[in-house]
Chains A and B, each alone.
Chain A
Amino acid sequence: MTVTASSPEVIAEPSLLREGIAAFARNRVALVGLAFIVVLVVVALFIPWISHHDPYRVALDEQFLPPSLTYWLGTDNFGRDVLTRILYGARISLLVGTLPSLISLVIGAALGILSGYVGGKTDAIIMRLADMMIAFPSLLLAMVVMYTLGANLLNIFIALALVGWASVARVVRSETLALKGKEFIEAARANGTSRLTTMVKHIFPNVIPTLIVLFSLSIPDAIMWESSLSFLGVGVQPPEASWGLLVAKGKEYLLQAPIVAIAPGIAILLTVLAFNFIGDGLRDALDPSMKD
Chain B
Amino acid sequence: MAQHNETVLSVSDLRTEFHGGRGHIRAVDGVSFDVGRGRIVGIVGESGSGKSMTALSIMGLVPKPAGKVTAQSIMLDGTELTSLGADGLRRVRGRDMAMVFQEPMTSLNPVRKVWEQVGEPLAIHKGMNSRQIRARVLEMFELVGIPEPKARLDAYPHELSGGLRQRAMIAMGLICEPKLLIADEPTTALDVTTQAQILRLMLELRDRVGTSIIMITHDLGIIAEMCDEVNVMYAGQIVEQGNVFDLFDRPSHPYTRGLLASIPKTTEKRTDGRMPSIPGMVPNLERLPPGCRFNPRCGDVMAICHEAEPPLGEVGGGHLARCWLHSRKADGPAPAAGAVL
A residues lining the B interface (CB < 8 Å): 1-6, 8-9
In the bound complex, residues from chain B placing their C-beta under 8 Å from that of A5 are 279-280
In the bound complex, residues from chain B placing their C-beta under 8 Å from that of A1 are 257, 261, 299-300
Within the assembled complex, what's the spacing in Å between the Cα atoms of A6 and B298?
9
In the bound complex, residues from chain A placing their C-beta under 8 Å from that of B296 are 6
Closest to B295 in A: A6
How many A-B pairs have beta carbons closer than 8 Å: the answer is 27
**Extra inter-chain contacts (9) besides given A2-B340, A3-B258, A4-B297, CB under 8 Å:** A1-B261, A1-B299, A3-B299, A4-B279, A4-B298, A4-B341, A6-B280, A6-B296, A8-B281
Within the assembled complex, what's the spacing in Å between the Cα atoms of A9 and B278?
16
Within the assembled complex, what's the spacing in Å between the Cα atoms of A6 and B276?
15
Within the complex, what minimum Cβ distance (angstroms) separates B331 from chain A?
28
10 contacts between A and B (CB under 8 A): A1-B257, A1-B261, A2-B299, A3-B299, A4-B298, A4-B301, A4-B341, A5-B279, A5-B280, A6-B297
Q: In the complex, which of the residues B257, B261, B281, B299 contacts A4, with contact meaning CB atoms closer than 8 Å?
A: B299
Q: In the complex, which of the residues B278, B281, B284 contacts A3, with contact meaning CB atoms closer than 8 Å?
A: B278
B279 touches A3 (CB 8 A): yes
Within the assembled complex, what's the spacing in Å between the Cα atoms of A173 and B297?
47
In the bound complex, residues from chain B placing their C-beta under 8 Å from that of A6 are 279-280, 296-297
In the bound complex, residues from chain B placing their C-beta under 8 Å from that of A8 are 280-281
In the bound complex, residues from chain A placing their C-beta under 8 Å from that of B261 are 1
Closest to A11 in B: B284
Within the assembled complex, what's the spacing in Å between the Cα atoms of A4 and B258?
12
Closest to A3 in B: B299
Within the assembled complex, what's the spacing in Å between the Cα atoms of A5 and B340?
12
In the bound complex, residues from chain A placing their C-beta under 8 Å from that of B299 are 1-4
Q: In the complex, which of the residues A2, A4, A9 contacts B284, with contact meaning CB atoms closer than 8 Å?
A: A9
Within the assembled complex, what's the spacing in Å between the Cα atoms of A9 and B299?
19
In the bound complex, residues from chain B placing their C-beta under 8 Å from that of A9 are 281, 284
Closest to B296 in A: A6
Within the assembled complex, what's the spacing in Å between the Cα atoms of A3 and B272?
15
Smallest CB-CB A-B distances: 3 pairs:
A6-B280, A6-B296, A3-B299
- The DSSP consensus for interface residues of chain B is loop
Within the complex, what minimum Cβ distance (angstroms) separates A179 from chain B?
25
In the bound complex, residues from chain A placing their C-beta under 8 Å from that of B301 are 4
B residues lining the A interface (CB < 8 Å): 257-258, 261, 276, 278-281, 284, 296-301, 340-341
Closest to A8 in B: B281
Within the complex, what minimum Cβ distance (angstroms) separates B28 from chain A?
23
Within the assembled complex, what's the spacing in Å between the Cα atoms of A4 and B277?
11
Within the complex, what minimum Cβ distance (angstroms) separates B295 from chain A?
9
In the bound complex, residues from chain B placing their C-beta under 8 Å from that of A4 are 279, 297-299, 301, 341
In the bound complex, residues from chain A placing their C-beta under 8 Å from that of B340 are 2
Within the complex, what minimum Cβ distance (angstroms) separates A252 from chain B?
54
In the bound complex, residues from chain A placing their C-beta under 8 Å from that of B276 are 3
Within the assembled complex, what's the spacing in Å between the Cα atoms of A1 and B340?
10
In the bound complex, residues from chain A placing their C-beta under 8 Å from that of B284 are 9
Within the complex, what minimum Cβ distance (angstroms) separates A49 from chain B?
47
In the bound complex, residues from chain A placing their C-beta under 8 Å from that of B341 are 4
Within the assembled complex, what's the spacing in Å between the Cα atoms of A9 and B281?
9
Within the complex, what minimum Cβ distance (angstroms) separates B302 from chain A?
12
Within the assembled complex, what's the spacing in Å between the Cα atoms of A94 and B298?
65
Closest to A1 in B: B299
Within the assembled complex, what's the spacing in Å between the Cα atoms of A9 and B289?
12
In the bound complex, residues from chain A placing their C-beta under 8 Å from that of B280 are 5-6, 8
Within the assembled complex, what's the spacing in Å between the Cα atoms of A2 and B297?
11
In the bound complex, residues from chain A placing their C-beta under 8 Å from that of B298 are 4
Within the assembled complex, what's the spacing in Å between the Cα atoms of A6 and B296?
6
In the bound complex, residues from chain A placing their C-beta under 8 Å from that of B258 are 3
Closest to A9 in B: B284
Within the complex, what minimum Cβ distance (angstroms) separates A22 from chain B?
14
Closest to B284 in A: A9
Within the assembled complex, what's the spacing in Å between the Cα atoms of A4 and B338?
12
Within the assembled complex, what's the spacing in Å between the Cα atoms of A149 and B276?
75
Within the assembled complex, what's the spacing in Å between the Cα atoms of A1 and B337?
12
Within the assembled complex, what's the spacing in Å between the Cα atoms of A8 and B279?
9
Most buried by B among A1, A3, A8: A3
Within the complex, what minimum Cβ distance (angstroms) separates A266 from chain B?
38
Closest to B258 in A: A3
In the bound complex, residues from chain A placing their C-beta under 8 Å from that of B278 are 3
Within the assembled complex, what's the spacing in Å between the Cα atoms of A34 and B284?
38
In the bound complex, residues from chain B placing their C-beta under 8 Å from that of A2 are 299, 340
Within the assembled complex, what's the spacing in Å between the Cα atoms of A8 and B281?
6
Most buried by B among A2, A4, A5, A9: A4
Within the assembled complex, what's the spacing in Å between the Cα atoms of A2 and B280?
14
Closest to B280 in A: A6
Within the complex, what minimum Cβ distance (angstroms) separates A288 from chain B?
13
Within the assembled complex, what's the spacing in Å between the Cα atoms of A124 and B261?
56
In the bound complex, residues from chain B placing their C-beta under 8 Å from that of A3 are 258, 276, 278-279, 299
Closest to A4 in B: B341
Within the assembled complex, what's the spacing in Å between the Cα atoms of A6 and B277?
13
Most buried by A among B276, B296, B301, B340: B296
Within the assembled complex, what's the spacing in Å between the Cα atoms of A184 and B300?
43
Closest to B257 in A: A1
Within the assembled complex, what's the spacing in Å between the Cα atoms of A4 and B301?
9
Within the assembled complex, what's the spacing in Å between the Cα atoms of A265 and B299?
73
Within the assembled complex, what's the spacing in Å between the Cα atoms of A3 and B340?
9
Within the assembled complex, what's the spacing in Å between the Cα atoms of A100 and B56?
53
Within the assembled complex, what's the spacing in Å between the Cα atoms of A2 and B301?
11
Within the complex, what minimum Cβ distance (angstroms) separates B247 from chain A?
17
Within the assembled complex, what's the spacing in Å between the Cα atoms of A133 and B248?
67
Closest to B341 in A: A4
Within the assembled complex, what's the spacing in Å between the Cα atoms of A6 and B279?
7
